[in-house]
Structure 1
């Protein structure tokens, strides 16, 4: 059994601290199910409240920890896990322990203006620190019979199309979140990367490090939302992108501010309404005023 421990993420274009659930655990759960393994989902808050939940980790064959604040902020209902909170993992000898998320890539952000805690200092606690795309690497790890030396920790998806099945298959994991269903908002990714990557982007944002935009197909996004809606999610945040007006825009890779594609945006949002007619929240976030 594989257990996902969601320590929560906070990135410039991705919210994962409650009431939000980021794409990370959903994609990873989907990749695990796709490879034929079982998966449990647990949040750091559940461990904080109930010590009995730790027993689930002891019984696990693999523990995947998702955590990291690339842009530390102030939170209303919870806060991401700290390195100190995760130190208990040192006492777990049986499971394979994997770290992924912003903490694995950039270190543990503590608060604004302070140096991040280097993830290398946690190498003794983890068997694998993933700096690439965890859903791709964990899927491969299962296929390699959990041989951590057989996978590339820096591997990334070739294109956004590669995560389609993972996003859909992992949708049901939301049912295991303690905020489900009424107080849980699903963060949705429309693309990764930034149009302004060609000129370096904004000084405060790490999104340009991912290169120019790699758009998810409209149908893939709609089908993911349909799966989440059918699972019981009624609140959605279309926020996992630096600029919603740049989705499917023209001139990406050539222009700092590519020309918006209103037809694609209309098709996306009308499609969302068609598959989730009784949704309660459809929140849009992140838009570049220059666009």
Structure 2
């Protein structure tokens, strides 16, 4: 559903569905009941200023009946964010695609405590492209190649390419070496991820996650691995590596969930989206984009007595 409010400062307006019935006479009463514990005066001011709108951009007042609108849109009051000490590098840009090297620690899209400090919002503001949309996601702790659509008219063709898995992704990871582990191998499992639970879990059942794992080289008990995911489940690569007893270095989640701590920018997760390959749906020509980043934990220093 198209928002009647434009992107502002790189951030989309928030959409809220109003209930069809309830004890509230007006839309504002419902919003106050749901969010009024945060800033009731600010909510009332936004209604009075006409900054809460319905479909078609129709402003709501404090007296607008609850049932007059199904959806409303408004801009959230965003907290001040400290800029993360990481930068985005552009690998390619044309009238349809933007390809960047996303650094570790920067989320792909706004969420939680990171809004302005997300790759999407940073790029929308820096490049003045309010219609910018990510074609896929990388975890906040994962770095590497990330694709965005810059053109709403051609976006659907690229979205279908991702939905149909007509794209090959290659990742690189640094992790311990197990001499008794036969590689390469394909790991398959059934994975689930709840919205209310931090970790992804492997459970019994038909596999829905598949990864090919190869050891490229090793140094002093530490290996550089090539990971080729056939599916794209949340945390899939991290879970599959940990399940083999070779958890990715500096992973605070797998195989053991560590206590929450401030980000240590000297110890990023050693996982990198190395490359993306596909046949461009517009030109029908092969395309490949490779990260210019590297993982600093390899090669491992020699152990001395």
TM-score w.r.t. length of structure 2: 0.26
Q: Which protein is bigger by CA-based radius of gyration? A: 2
Structure number with the higher helix fraction is 1
TM-score w.r.t. length of structure 1: 0.27
Structure number with the higher strand fraction is 2
Of structures 1 and 2, the one scoring higher in RCO (CA 8 A, sep 6+) is 1
